[in-house]
């Protein structure tokens, strides 16, 4: 005969228990919103939704709850990483770095420029822990570069006469530094070397968080999850219904979510059959940078290590008539500019311009695979399997070097 025992009493404080219950209840609201979305659900769509929900929680921990502002570092592998942290459509050409710092303190950033095409340092106040983020400013290290390619900034709430100064917002203990290190020529880019450290004599305090701070940051995690869902859900529902599939539309530059103010974003929800292709044609404008890459309908960037799911202005072939032609499809169409859908028949294509003189929207035509070649110029190159294998091998090597795999 067994004797029933009372469940053990919880050692969790009432304040922490209340914060945890708010988080769990809010997470359930988010889960319900995701799976109640009015769209055509397919097996890959449901899988992407499940991955989105789990990844969102991990990313919220990594960027809202975990950072210790008194022990700064540039995070790479816990923010965006191929095939792991892919939400919010991160750009395959960018080697992102994130640092989370206290706007009331003083920090130093220093490093070497490397051979990156463009290095941009974006500073934002808050990161949902206090309130919605807001861009404070963007800084180009080329403007302060030394002859040997080195540079240095001082980050603080107060001006630093005679120094390269980046302003912080002292009203928030959660300022964010987001670095875009642009790898245009993947095979030859060395990328930038970056470091960050405290540069004041204030006490660092303990390296752990109090219950009160954890509770506050849990609320911030929920704010972050709701924002991302609000930002990406229209791409799945209202925008395709309003504009239709297989056409690009210009997306709003949302600096609250970390968008860059000098960028132009265009998004295309696409839909194809296994024997269909989308032919994208456009004349490249005078621009510092452009690229296009694929993702799933929940904003997860497609694998670009083992597959050619992205191309940029340094990689793409342009025909003799000055038109860039790309082919989005599941099967290899035998052309240089293949955008590999990796079996995803319903997804997103994201296009970016940076510092562009004009915004050119690609013309998109849906074709049967068997009809593609007759829609291309006679001198459009044929890309055989051997060349594709060489391209993919070079791509893999470049990503391994970038992420130190």
pLDDT of residue 254: 65
The parts of the chain modelled with pLDDT lower than 70 are 1-4, 6-7, 253-257
pLDDT of residue 240: 77
Residue 255: Cβ-neighbour burial (10 angstroms; 0-12, 13-18, 19+)? middle
Q: Which two tokens stand for residue 43?
A: 């097996």
pLDDT of residue 362: 98
Distance CA 245, CA 276 (A): 14
pLDDT of residue 323: 98
pLDDT of residue 251: 79
Instruction: Single out the residue of 256, 96, 106 nearest to residue 166, CA to CA.
Output: 106
pLDDT of residue 260: 86
Strand partners, 251: 265
pLDDT of residue 269: 93
Domains defined for the chain, CATH in brackets: 14-68+209-232 (no CATH), 69-200 (2.60.120), 237-403 (2.60.120.1600)
pLDDT in tens, 185-222: 999 999 999 999 999 999 988 889 999 999 999 999 99
> How do the residues of the chain divide into helix, strand and coil, expressed in percent and rounded to 5?
25, 30, 45
pLDDT of residue 44: 87
């Amino acid at each position: 005969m067994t004797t029933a025992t009372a469940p053990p009493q919880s050692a969790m404080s009432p304040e922490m228990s209340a914060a945890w219950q708010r988080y769990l209840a809010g997470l359930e609201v988010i889960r319900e919103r995701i799976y109640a979305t009015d769209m055509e659900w397919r097996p890959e769509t449901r899988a992407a939704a499940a991955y989105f929900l789990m990844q969102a929680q991990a990313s919220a921990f990594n960027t809202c709850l975990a950072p210790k502002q008194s022990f700064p570092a540039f995070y790479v592998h816990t923010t965006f990483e191929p095939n792991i942290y892919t939400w919010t459509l991160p750009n395959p050409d960018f080697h992102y770095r994130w640092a989370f710092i206290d706007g009331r303190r003083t920090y130093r950033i220093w490093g070497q420029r490397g051979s990156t095409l463009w290095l941009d340092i974006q500073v934002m106040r808050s990161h949902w822990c206090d309130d919605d983020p807001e861009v404070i400013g963007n800084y180009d290290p080329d403007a302060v570069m030394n002859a040997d390619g080195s540079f240095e900034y001082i980050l603080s709430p107060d001006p630093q006469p005679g120094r390269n100064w980046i302003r912080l917002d002292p009203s928030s203990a959660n300022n964010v530094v987001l670095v875009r290190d642009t790898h245009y020529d993947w095979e030859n880019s060395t990328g930038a070397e970056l470091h960050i450290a405290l540069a004041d004599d204030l006490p660092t305090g303990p390296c752990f968080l109090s219950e009160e701070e954890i509770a506050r940051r849990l609320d911030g995690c929920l704010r972050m999850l709701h924002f991302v869902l609000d930002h990406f859900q229209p791409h799945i529902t209202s925008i395709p219904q309003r504009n239709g599939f297989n056409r690009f539309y210009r997306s709003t530059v949302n600096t609250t979510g970390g968008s860059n103010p000098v960028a132009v974003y265009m998004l295309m929800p696409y839909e194809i059959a296994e024997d269909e292709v989308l032919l994208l044609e456009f004349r490249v404008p005078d621009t510092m940078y452009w690229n296009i890459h694929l993702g799933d309908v929940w904003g997860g960037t497609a694998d670009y290590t083992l597959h050619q799911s992205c191309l940029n202005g340094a990689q793409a072939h342009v025909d003799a008539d000055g038109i860039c032609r790309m082919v989005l499809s599941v099967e290899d169409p035998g052309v240089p500019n293949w955008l590999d859908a990796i079996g995803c028949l319903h997804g997103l294509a994201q296009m970016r311009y940076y510092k562009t003189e004009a915004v050119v929207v690609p013309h998109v035509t849906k074709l049967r695979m068997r009809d593609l070649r007759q829609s291309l110029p006679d001198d459009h190159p044929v890309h055989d399997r051997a060349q594709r294998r060489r391209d993919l091998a070079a791509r893999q090597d470049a990503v391994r070097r970038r992420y130190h795999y």
